[in-house]
Structure 1
């Protein structure tokens, strides 16, 4: 089951890790993504910390860590193919994080996210 943030990220829990990407809505708002800078695996991050840089033909944007924890994996193919975000935003992940506690109850479900974006 996916959860969503007000910053237009999707979160998917897989055991004790959370996979993070951006929503189709965010991808559409950005336009053609031309550059992605990912965090280093093993980096410890705080919730709300800017950890991914995305640049598009329209704007530069950041992805913030939805929870604090340790980055356990990054999508190695993304820097070489940033357009994958536009092709399949909901199927393209950026990073995986192992939080101190896996509790996604404070995030929106799909219905709440759809209401947010109208």
Structure 2
């Protein structure tokens, strides 16, 4: 059972980080115009429990990211991975999608866990206080 868990953890973390480096420098707000005209894109935060996520190597993260991006490309423009935050045993991902079901479908196809999906209604920051 341990080899399967290790392999899953590795794949999951790699999937979550695809595009992180390129997307991290892109300005992001949940009010950005949708990338598709078929339906309005919503912004979600996805919590994924991945034991040891924070200890994965850059190569492992790249591999998981590549797998995730491949699945996203196959699914089309109605779902987009913005970026992810890796902590010790969890990964928090920001996605734009037409609906929550697309996020679950992506996770299933990519072989990555989904613990919670929450739609983001707005983003605040220190600039909000101005």
**TM-score normalised by structure 1 residue count:** 0.29
* TM-score of the superposed pair, with normalisation by structure 2: 0.28
Higher Cα Rg, which structure: 2
The structure where helix makes up a greater share of residues is 2
**Structure number with higher strand proportion:** 1
Which of the pair has the greater relative contact order for Cα pairs under 8 Å at 6+ separation? 2
